[in-house]
Amino acid sequence: MCSRMPLAPQKTIERLILYRLLLERLELQGTTNVFSNQLAEMSGNTSAQVRRDLMTVGYLGNPRHGYKISELLKAIRALLEPQQGISMVVIGIGNLGRAILGYFYPLKPKFNLVAAFDNDEHKVNRVISGCRTYPVHQIGTVLSGTVIDLGIITVPAEHAQVAADVLVRAGIKGLVNFSAAPVKVPEDVTIENMHMTMTFEKVVYFSRLARTGGS
């Protein structure tokens, strides 16, 4: 019988991912221990918040020596990362889709791109950045018997819902949508909509506000 993952709030998971990135950077710099106040300053949180978050992974620091980075990273990774790595597929092999394939290719075996799919016959039946590409209608056959952790949608907005439906029917429970249109998914499917244009416009608006002093 497999054990159930501890249920943690979304914001806690987001902060744990940030802590992991910061800890990995400290480890590369040769640092072996870190205190909660240091991690709080680096992450923009409070020391109390850091300690509460790290209790989620069952790791307690030492008041004198703080947290041992190697052990803390091990505990966070045990919660966040499947031992076999994160299996992913991409649907949509345009410029963004190919860029994502190229980005994740060097990150094996942590991130494993199993396959990519597209309706354009000129973009499939070849290998891009080490990932085999297939027609969308073959997704059921290609992924049969394979557990996929994440489906990445990089199709034009008008095709986003169809792409999401295809991935859901393939049994994928986690989606990241890079198209410009939000999509609807069943309640047991987790989706993150990454609307880049909206993000850019929001940042530009507030940067202009800061530059002009709100006038």
**Residue 130 covered by a domain:** yes
pLDDT of residue 3: 44
Per-residue pLDDT tens digits for 54-105: 988 888 888 888 999 999 999 998 888 777 889 999 999 999 999 999 999 9
96 and 128, same domain (yes or no): yes
**Cβ–Cβ < 8 Å for 167, 105:** no
Which tokens belong to 122? 């000129």
Contacts of 137 (CB under 8 A, 6+ apart): none
Q: DSSP secondary-structure letter at 7?
A: P
Domain end residue (candidates: 30, 51, 80): 80
pLDDT tens sequence for the chain (215 residues): 334 555 678 889 999 999 999 999 999 999 999 999 999 999 999 999 999 999 888 888 888 889 999 999 999 988 887 778 899 999 999 999 999 999 999 988 889 999 999 999 999 999 999 999 999 999 999 999 999 999 999 999 999 999 999 999 999 999 999 998 889 999 999 999 988 888 888 889 888 888 877 65
Contacts of 36 (CB under 8 A, 6+ apart): 47, 50, 51, 54, 61, 66, 67
pLDDT of residue 7: 65
Structurally, the chain folds into a number of domains equal to: 2
**Residue 105 covered by a domain:** yes
**Beta strands at 127-128 and 190-193: parallel, antiparallel or unpaired:** unpaired
pTM of the model: 0.74
52 and 103, same domain (yes or no): no
**Cβ–Cβ < 8 Å for 93, 126:** no
98 and 166, same domain (yes or no): yes
For residues 24 and 161, give the distance between their C-alpha atoms in angstroms, rounded to a whole number: 37
pLDDT of residue 2: 39
**Residue 44 covered by a domain:** yes
For residues 100 and 110, give the distance between their C-alpha atoms in angstroms, rounded to a whole number: 15
**Residue 122 covered by a domain:** yes
**Residue 2 covered by a domain:** no
Q: Which domain holds residue 51?
A: 10-80
pLDDT of residue 124: 94
pLDDT of residue 5: 52
68 and 94, same domain (yes or no): no
For residues 179 and 95, give the distance between their C-alpha atoms in angstroms, rounded to a whole number: 12
SS3 state at 118: strand
**Residue 75 covered by a domain:** yes
